[in-house]
Amino acid sequence: MVEDEQAARVLLFLRLPRVVMAMVAGAALSVSGVLMQAITRNPLVSPYTIGVSSAAGFGASVAIMFGVGVQAAGVYFVPLSAFACALLCAVCVFSLAWWRGMGAQAMILTGIALMYLFSAMTAAVQFVATEEQLARVVHWTFGSLNGVQWDAVGLCAVLLAVILPVMQRKAWQLNALTVAGDDVAQSLGMNVRRLRVTAILLSVVAAAGVISFVGVIGFVGLIGPHLARMIIGGDHRLLIPFAAICGAALLLVADTVGRLAFSPTVLPVGIVVAFVGVPMFLHLVISRKRETFA
């Protein structure tokens, strides 16, 4: 009887939150990638490639380094610090790209520059950290679903539940923008600037919210949208929900592989995704065509 209760608790409070969080996080990152690629009309844009993930990693590293834990600011201090830095990075990238009249290419280059900057600052934090702090920072930056609690799952699920229907209603506007460009979209009566601001805000909140709890998981926001496009095409009315499904399945499979491949050692899901994401990213760079959004 006691063993049955223990097994039930393990399933309910360890296994099940991990599985649900994998699906929610994968869906949120993939939808974030779809929105970023749509508003920039560039298939190489994702939360990882514009520096949002690296900024979140720096924010978490600083919070861990200064040792502000449960007694000082609650268990959410590290996620809040990561979330704030991710938002700051996104504001810098998109403000330089659009408010200063620069294009999508400049936005990507700015994001890459900030990604390296935040990575360097994270390395500096690791250099001066104690062994215990260093272990926590490295574990966080690898990206992992270990120890995920139901409250974190609930918060991320709420974000996704709000963002999905909002952007689904704007799917036809995203179609017009990605296929025909700004001029045609404006001629159809669309407020392109408002659409971009809305999509940027929601995509960054989705990505930053997930990353702040599970750590740096790259390439899901890149791979998920492209898998969905390969299967159903570029119509955002279908692409947005299907990309969420692809992202959820991708991260769930990656986490399962990470747990089983080297059992009993659990490989962080961020590492597993990177092994798939890096080759696909290079393939996209080499074979990039305008027809990606057709």
Query: What does the pLDDT average to over 88-103?
Result: 75
The SS3 of residue 160 is: helix
Residue among 200, 255, 229, 235 at smallest CA distance from 86: 200
Identify the band that residue 108 occupies on the pLDDT scale cut at 50, 70 and 90: confident
| CATH superfamily assigned to domain 20-293 | ABC transporter involved in vitamin B12 uptake, BtuC (1.10.3470.10)
Query: What does the pLDDT average to over 214-239?
Result: 90
Identify the band that residue 98 occupies on the pLDDT scale cut at 50, 70 and 90: low
Check if the beta carbon of residue 273 is closer than 8 Å to that of residue 143.
yes
Identify the band that residue 79 occupies on the pLDDT scale cut at 50, 70 and 90: confident
Predicted confidence (pLDDT) per residue in 162-188, tens digit: 999 999 999 999 998 888 777 777 787
Could you tell me which residue, 244 or 78, shows the higher pLDDT?
A: 244
- Give the pair of three-digit tokens for residue 59: 């924010």
Identify the band that residue 245 occupies on the pLDDT scale cut at 50, 70 and 90: very high
pTM equals 0.88
Query: What does the pLDDT average to over 216-227?
Result: 88
pLDDT at residue 122 tops 80: yes
Could you tell me which residue, 168 or 277, shows the higher pLDDT?
A: 168
Sequence-separated (6 or more) residues with CB below 8 Å from residue 76: none
Return the pLDDT at 277: 74
Check if the beta carbon of residue 61 is closer than 8 Å to that of residue 137.
yes
- Give the pair of three-digit tokens for residue 124: 């500096």
Return the pLDDT at 206: 92
Distance CA 177, CA 191 (A): 11
Check if the beta carbon of residue 160 is closer than 8 Å to that of residue 205.
no
pLDDT at residue 289 tops 90: no
Identify the band that residue 102 occupies on the pLDDT scale cut at 50, 70 and 90: low
Return the pLDDT at 34: 95
Return the pLDDT at 294: 45
